Chains A and B, each alone.
Chain A
Amino acid sequence: MESALVNGIQGLFLGVVNIGIGQVIMIAAACLLLYLGIKKGYEPLLLVPIGFGAILVNIPEANMMGEGGFLRFFYDAGVRTEIFPLLIFIGIGAMTDFQPLLQNPKIILLGAAGQFGIFITLLLALALGFDKLDAVAVAVIGACDGPTAIYVSSKFAPHMLGAVSVAAYSYMSLVPLIQPPIMRALTTEKERKIIMGAAKLEPISKTTRIVFPIVVTIFASILAPKGAPLIGTVMLGNLLRECGVVERLKSASENEIANIVTLLLGLCIGATMEADKFLKAQTLLVLLLGFVAISLDTAVGLLFGKAMCALTGGKINPLIGAAGISAFPMSARVVQAEGQKYNKKSYLLMHAMSANAGGQIGSVIAAAVMLSVLQGMGIVAG
């Protein structure tokens, strides 16, 4: 009887006895994520479930990510299979209006330049000693696109999923702080004051808006087949939006499906943040390289904008180059605000929206190209 009592009491305090300093640090870090999401409003839809998932997984003896654990169940079902990010992409496609891009298709090139940070960061990560596929996962933070980063890292470097996802979503929410100093550093005051003509708001036919996602899917998937799931899901969502005959599916994609998957995906990402896996020098490097990647995207986009400005005889304000990243529509708003600071008559929003929509497609295309090249090089299986 006495030993049963002792054992029972020991069982009651098992968590207290077994908690390590690493778990305490991770629970504190998780609370910081919750604070940033709830109090500061930084990507709360993701940071709140991520933070809570990180708390759950660091509770000693709870074994949430162990065999049969409830977080492990969702992780295996949705992250290992890559289904969750793809379902989120359907929602993103359903929410995105590509009309500004259709009105001004040349601007899509800024969306390509805005992805160059991915590839420069890849070289930096390799120089810092990351394995090939780990370097790919780190570099893809530069896509500035959470689901793409999650898709690629869960495929090639699942052990880094937590760090990559937290970096991707944190820096995306910090775009209004990260971009303006780079904009000022790389453009002259004269360039920032350039007034672009009123965005050519030519109406786009409904048929064009319907055909666009179908053609993009066929064309881009044939060119970069490994990226077909990414391109196909975004464009499926967009087709549901534009075709006008499946309102219920469109509504479910951008609401119920996106919300449920966001919750589960966030929890799963948090669940990868176990102390023994997350508290490493490598995690700090991932966070640092993620910042570098997004800064480089902005810088290359601005330089490309400067080149377009020179080639068009000063008709393009290079600031819109900064909107060539995938953080939609936040980056376009940052460009508009920055342009207005230097010239009250400058309205860059619609032009920046075109570049930003280009960045959305650009990030998916960049990842698709990357996956296809990796397959071609024999680094990953077909």
Chain B
Amino acid sequence: MDTWTFGWTLALIGMGGTMLVLWLLSLIILLIKKIFPHRPEPSAAKKG
């Protein structure tokens, strides 16, 4: 593989791949937050 094919392939897939993986991660975080929402401690709730 010549240098420029290597360079452009790695750069484009690298940038796109990083963006894609992090975007998917942000969706996963939203999903985890939905599945495990924060609930106030029972004692705190009573006090409140």
Contacts from A to B (Cβ < 8 Å): 101-102, 105-106, 108-109, 111-113, 115-116, 118-120, 122-123, 126, 132, 135-136, 202-205, 207-208, 211-212, 215-216, 219-220, 223-224, 358, 361-362, 365-366, 369-370, 372-374, 377, 379
Contacts and interface: CB of A to CB of B under 8 A. Distances in A.
Contact of B23 (A112, A136, A212, A373): A112
Contacts, number: 113
A219 B8 contact: no
Contacts of A224: 17, 21
Contact of A119 (B15, B27, B37): B15
Contact of A112 (B1, B8, B9, B19): B19
A352 B28 CA distance: 21
B13 A373 contact: yes
Contacts of B6: 126, 132, 377, 379
Contact of B38 (A109, A123, A203): A203
Given A112-B23, A361-B25, A123 B18 contact: no
B29 A126 contact: no
Contacts of B10: 119, 122, 136, 370, 373-374, 377
B7 A369 contact: no
A147 B15 CA distance: 20
B34 to A, nearest CB: 10
A301 to B, nearest CB: 12
Contact of A123 (B11, B30, B33): B11
Contact of A358 (B1, B22, B30, B33): B22
Contact of B32 (A215, A223, A362, A365): A215
A124 B8 CA distance: 11
A108 B14 contact: no
B1 A377 contact: yes
A112 B33 contact: no
B32 A208 contact: yes
Nearest to A136: B10
Contacts of B19: 109, 112-113
A362 B11 contact: no
20 contacts: A108-B22, A108-B23, A111-B22, A118-B14, A123-B11, A204-B33, A204-B38, A205-B36, A205-B38, A205-B39, A207-B36, A208-B38, A219-B25, A358-B22, A362-B18, A369-B14, A369-B18, A373-B17, A377-B6, A379-B1
A371 to B, nearest CB: 10
Contact of B29 (A105, A123, A223, A372): A105
A244 B25 CA distance: 24
A113 B20 CA distance: 11
Nearest to B30: A105
Contacts of B3: 126, 132
Contacts of A112: 18-19, 21-23
Given A205-B39, A377-B6, A361 B14 contact: no
B26 to A, nearest CB: 4
Contact of A205 (B8, B23, B37): B37
Nearest to B6: A132
Contact of A373 (B14, B28, B38): B14
Given A106-B26, A109-B23, A212-B32, A122 B13 contact: no
Nearest to A369: B17
A206 to B, nearest CB: 9
A126 B22 contact: no
A182 B24 CA distance: 29
Given A202-B38, A365-B18, A369-B18, 10 more contacts: A101-B29, A102-B33, A105-B33, A112-B19, A122-B11, A132-B3, A205-B33, A211-B32, A361-B25, A369-B17
A122 B8 CA distance: 9
